[in-house]
Amino acid sequence: MAAPVIVEATAKQTATLIFMHGLGDTGHGWSSALAAIRPPFMKVICPTAPTQPVSLNAGFRMPSWFDLKTLDIGGPEDEPGIQSARDNVHGMIQKEISAGIPANRIVLGGFSQGGALALYSALTYDQPLAGVVALSCWLPLHKQFPGAKVNSDDVPIFQAHGDYDPVVPYKFGQLSASLLKSFMKNVTFKTYNGLSHSSSDDEMDDVKNFITLTLLFSITGHNQ
């Protein structure tokens, strides 16, 4: 795997954001946008997915966290690939914890396929995280939930989706959010009118506010 793009904290680091890009992108795709909105004490890690064949794109090789067979909500999924990618994300979290950043000061995030991976990885991690940022995405292996969840019900989730998304249909985002709300206590689902499969300034402002608030809470709420 290519080395992740790392944006170091500009003050003493007390928090980390691990953010996964979408299909066919690299860690560079999001690093500057995230650097612009993160608090100074936060390090940002933007890993690049391994290059592999993607069934949805006729077997064409591209950076992909796991294979995508279809974008039908009930269609077959690459369960071994999703779990292997999840293990890699858990390894990145562990590395930050070993470096002295507690789990409840680590935010997981991602866009599209990366957002799907962030959601799945957070829910199946065994320590409460600071929060999850899930942009234009869905919950993979959704039929396994809430059974597969091992994290706390209280982990804050910020899910965002444009209602003009031609790639990951807005409906998938809505369905994932309503499923998440059935077993998680702190889920926000925000709609961006007219937004296609991309991000916007408004959305990034909301991500910034979410990160700031969750990290503020992790200090007051857990006596850090």
pLDDT in tens, 106-137: 999 999 999 999 999 999 999 999 999 999 99
Q: Choose between 1 and 97: higher pLDDT.
A: 97
Catalytic residue among 25, 31, 78, 165: 165
What's the CATH code of the domain at 199? 3.40.50.1820
Please check whether residue 85 lies inside any domain of the structure: yes
Q: Tell me: the pLDDT tens digits for 131-177? A: 999 999 999 999 999 999 999 999 999 999 999 999 999 999 999 99
What is residue 223's predicted lDDT score, i.e. its pLDDT? 35
Mean pLDDT score, 81-101: 97
Catalytic residue among 197, 198, 199, 200: 197
Q: Tell me: the pLDDT tens digits for 27-72? A: 999 999 999 999 999 999 999 999 999 999 999 999 999 999 987 7
Please check whether residue 195 lies inside any domain of the structure: yes
What is residue 73's predicted lDDT score, i.e. its pLDDT? 76
Please check whether residue 224 lies inside any domain of the structure: no
Gyration radius from the chain CA atoms:
16
Q: Cβ–Cβ contacts within 10 Å for residue 40, how many?
A: 10
Please check whether residue 83 lies inside any domain of the structure: yes
Mean pLDDT score, 83-106: 97
Residue 81 banded pLDDT, cuts 50, 70, 90: very high
Q: Is 205 a catalytic residue?
A: no
Distance between CA 17 and CA 43 in Å, rounded?
6
Q: Tell me: the pLDDT tens digits for 173-223? A: 999 999 999 999 999 999 999 999 999 999 999 999 999 999 987 665 443
Q: Is 165 a catalytic residue?
A: yes
Count of structural domains within the chain: 1
Please check whether residue 29 lies inside any domain of the structure: yes
Please check whether residue 80 lies inside any domain of the structure: yes
Catalytic residue among 31, 64, 112, 176: 112
Query: Comparing C-alpha atoms, which of 131, 118, 177 is closest to residue 157?
Result: 131
Distance between CA 143 and CA 122 in Å, rounded?
16
Which helix (H) or strand (E) segment holds residue 42: the answer is: strand 42-46
- C-alpha distances (whole Å) from 92 to each of 20, 98, 106, 127 are 12, 10, 10, 14
What is residue 224's predicted lDDT score, i.e. its pLDDT? 34
Q: Cβ–Cβ contacts within 10 Å for residue 131, how many?
A: 24
Please check whether residue 16 lies inside any domain of the structure: yes
**Where in the sequence is the domain holding 32, given as residue range(s)?**
5-218
Q: Cβ–Cβ contacts within 10 Å for residue 134, how many?
A: 31
Query: Comparing C-alpha atoms, which of 165, 188, 116 is closest to residue 145?
Result: 116
Residue 10 reports pLDDT greater than 70: yes
Q: Is 196 a catalytic residue?
A: no
pTM for this one?
Answer: 0.95
Please check whether residue 132 lies inside any domain of the structure: yes
